[in-house]
Amino acid sequence: MPNYVFVSDLHGCVDRYERLFDCIQQEQPAAVFLGGDLLPSGLSALGSIKIMHCDFVNDFLVERFEQLMANMGERYPQVFLILGNDDSRSQEAALLAAATRRVWHYAHDRRFAFGRFNVYGYSFIPPSPFLNKDWERYDVSRYVEPGCVSPEEGHRSVPQSSSQIRFATISEDLSSLAGDRSLENAIFLFHAPPYQTNLDRAALDGKIIDHVPVDIHVGSIAMQRFILERQPLVTLHGHIHESARITGDWRDRIGNTHCFSAAHDGEELALVRFDPLDLESASRELIKVR
């Protein structure tokens, strides 16, 4: 029986990564999925002298995954990862370089055949209040929720064309990525969660901006519609750390599609384990870090 593990939103926390590496070595999963926001943010970097003075991708992530490869040999899992909205796109080149050495599969906007399954990845989220716009895109139209900053504002570490920034949408991207393929055996690795689910509930209760109540659900309408219409086997999500705590659930269903989130707002590593042939048995464990 396949054993897959999924984590997200580790934000450069070395202790969480070390627990993940321990689990990989001990459990020997067939696949590992990392759902974005993998790198140190400004606050986490300030909390660690080691993080402040290293190239996190090459000096930590690549080095530690290569150690796992050497230790595990043929038992080393297939690793699929994407970046998230808190990650600088300037680090994408380093991730792609490591992918050429088979350390992992860099999955954003790509499809990989994996046994009987196909793995797809997608990093973009709808407009948010944050100013890093490397991984933000309009959702289904050029509408921006109250309190959020348009993708046409903010800053980027990697230039994008003005036409992409102004007119590209998550909806169009997903249609292009999936094409007309059957998705009954598809695993989608997203950073954003789908709209109005257990996975996209933000702590925005009672908040009003310019006399307009703020929507407490902040996920992607495009993803919600895409999942409902195309019915992939399973979708993996992160981004909204507090959602599972507020809703009491880290999973949801959209039609026949199972949707799981590994986002977590505590100090523990949130590790989702799932078997794509028995998705009802999926579980999430909060693992204490050192």
**Residue reference for tokens 């992409």:** 164
CA separation for the pair 270, 285 (Å, rounded): 6
DSSP category for residue 224: H
pLDDT in tens, the chain (290 residues): 569 999 999 999 999 999 999 999 999 999 999 999 999 985 544 444 455 557 999 999 999 999 999 999 999 999 999 999 999 999 999 999 999 999 999 999 999 999 999 999 999 999 999 999 999 999 999 999 999 999 999 999 999 999 999 999 999 999 999 999 999 999 999 999 999 999 999 999 999 998 999 999 999 999 999 999 999 999 999 999 999 999 999 999 999 999 999 999 999 999 999 999 999 999 999 999 97
Distances (CA, A) of 257 to 153, 184, 227: 35, 9, 7
Q: Determine how many CB atoms are found less than 10 A away from the CB of residue 137.
A: 24
Print the domain residue range for 233: 4-287
Domains in the chain, number: 1
CA dihedral sign, ordered 224, 11, 272, 1: positive
Give residue 279's identity as a one-letter amino acid code. Answer: L
What does the pLDDT read at residue 54? 79
Residue 195 token pair: 């709209």
CA separation for the pair 99, 18 (Å, rounded): 21
What does the pLDDT read at residue 71? 97
252: closest CA among 244, 263, 242? 244
Question: How far is C-alpha 117 from the geometric centre of its chain's CA atoms?
Answer: 19
What does the pLDDT read at residue 49? 45
Instruction: Quote the strand ranges of the chain, DSSP E.
Output: 4-7, 31-35, 78-82, 105-106, 111-114, 117-122, 186-190, 208-209, 212-213, 234-237, 251-254, 257-261, 269-274, 283-287
CA separation for the pair 127, 145 (Å, rounded): 8
Distances (CA, A) of 225 to 26, 160, 183, 245: 38, 26, 14, 25
* pTM of the predicted model as reported, rounded to 2 decimal places: 0.95
User: What CA dihedral angle connects 36, 58, 159 and 137, to 10 degrees?
Assistant: 0
List residues bridging with 70 in a β-sheet. none
Distances (CA, A) of 180 to 175, 177, 184, 221, 286: 8, 9, 12, 20, 38
Degrees (nearest 5) of the Cα angle 29, 16, 81? 55
Helix (H, G, I), strand (E, B) or coil at 17: helix
Domain containing 149 — which CATH number?
Answer: 3.60.21.10
